[in-house]
Structure 1
Amino acid sequence: MEKDVLNALRKSWSIQSSSKWSVDSPAKGQCGVTSLVVQDILGGEIRKTFLEEGWHFYNIINGERKDFSEEQFPYLIDYQDIDSNRVEAFQDTNDSQYRYLKTQVYKLLGKAEN
């Protein structure tokens, strides 16, 4: 299921899901919105790590770190696994971007939105 979610995310990331998106780096700026949609689908917790670019959000699912947007960085991340939540992750996105990404991913997965 995680692989299916990652494939759906990669097909869905666009300028409509992050203003930092580019053809060269589709995952750029997608961490907050992605962590929210991943939590909607797979559950788990949201964590964050501070990087040069600012806060980076990702998920902990069944005790394992899952960073679906890590490919945006050209270096290995030194994860700090700081507790976070939906409110903090949402500060990295907006309702329009979140709704767009969630709708696209759910459509590709053949799931009904909850």
Structure 2
Amino acid sequence: MLSTVYTKIEKMRDILFQSWSIETSSKWISDNPAKGQCGVTALVIHDLFEGEIMKTKVPEGWHFYNRINGKRYDFTASQFLEEITYMDIPSNRKEAFADTNEKQYDTLKQKVRIHIKEVIL
């Protein structure tokens, strides 16, 4: 059963790339779709898989990602040119939400749900 969870989590990369847009982050650009998506993505992944929201410091500020069943998942790492040195600082929904807004969150959540039905379920 745990391997099924990991398979679903790994499929999320494709689903997120299909779901991200200028509607889910004002920093989004077509040649770097993960740009600015970390907070909103960490929230939606947390909704789907629970686990923990984590953060680490990057030159632009705080970067959010998830830890699920003890494993780090950073679906938005591709937005950075340099490799991230993860600090794995525990965070929470409130901090991640400060990186986004209700409209972006609702939009990403809806788009991900549509693509999940097509791919995972």
Q: TM-score, normalised by structure 2?
A: 0.89
Number of corresponding residues:
111
**One-letter amino acid matched to 1:27:** A
Structure 1 gap segments, 5+ residues each: none
Match of 1:47 among 54, 65, 68: 54
3-state SS in 1 of match to 2:107 = helix
Distance in structure 2 (CA, Å) of the matches to 1:24 and 1:4: 21
Q: How much is the aligned-residue C-alpha RMSD, in angstroms?
A: 1.0
2:116 aligned with 1:109: yes
1:90 aligned residue: 97
Distance in structure 2 (CA, Å) of the matches to 1:42 and 1:78: 24
Distance in structure 1 (CA, Å) of the matches to 2:99 and 2:76: 13
More helix by share: 2
Q: Which runs of 4+ in 1 moved over 3 A?
A: none
Q: Looking at CA atoms only, which structure, 1 or 2, has the larger radius of gyration?
A: 2
Q: TM-score, normalised by structure 1?
A: 0.95
Percent identity over paired residues: 54
Shift of 1:61: 0.4
